[in-house]
Amino acid sequence: MSWPATDRYEIQAAPDGLAFVQDLLNTLSAGKPRETDLLLDRGTAQTWLNESWGHQILQLTRPPVELGDEDVERLRVFRDSLRERLTPTAEGALREHADLPQPEVDATLRFAPDGTVHAEPAGSGWSAVVSLILIEILHAQRSDQWRRLKVCRSERCRVTFFDRSRNNSAVWHDVRRCGHPANLRAYRDRQRAQRDEHSAV
């Protein structure tokens, strides 16, 4: 199954509807080399949303959402604020943040053919997109998957990935591409600091 924003970074999508949240977060300009920010203008934002919105995994019965210029701007601010909440501090702890910018969000509950109840986004424009994002985050929190959605620690990367490690300890989306170079730079910095310390004695 293809997710247009996440696929650009050659990252495996998160499970179920959490993949849509991940795809929104990966619309930003990230990676090495930097990809285009898909929420930079209305045209690319609408194309991204049309491709992501139609996934059967989201079990939506409503038509795709149309975005205006103001919707795109607000959605971009929401995405950036949500991404900051997933970004740890230098010490590895999550930062404290103010409330996410969001509209008055509604949702519709529907019976599926199998008898299960599903929440569907309501509203229009960016409000509908944020409604779906919050629904999927709620599902992910209840299934204990939300804590596995992370931003790559590499300052030169910063893509959002789903940590599939057994103990949820991954900090790089790809150890070879991001972890090893970062560890090598840190090692060289330590070596340089030691040389400077010795030369100052």
Q: Which of 158, 120, 123, 156 is nearest to 20 (CA)?
A: 120
How far apart CA 106 and CA 85 sit, in angstroms, is 22
Residue 9's pLDDT band (boundaries 50, 70, 90)? very high
Which pLDDT score is estimated for 122? 87
Q: How confident is the model at residue 19 (pLDDT cuts 50, 70, 90)?
A: very high
Mean pLDDT of the chain: 83
Rounded CA gap, 67 and 114, in Å?
Answer: 32
Does this model's pTM top 0.75? My answer is yes
List phi, psi (to 5°) of 123: 95, -170
The CATH class of the 4-200 domain is mainly alpha
Q: What percent of the chain has pLDDT over 70?
A: 81
Q: Residue 103 has which token pair?
A: 């509209």
- Written as six digits, the tokens of 11 are 């990252």
Least confident of 112-126, 132-146, 171-185: 171-185
Per-residue pLDDT band at 187 (split at 50, 70, 90) = very low
Q: Which two tokens stand for residue 44?
A: 């690319």
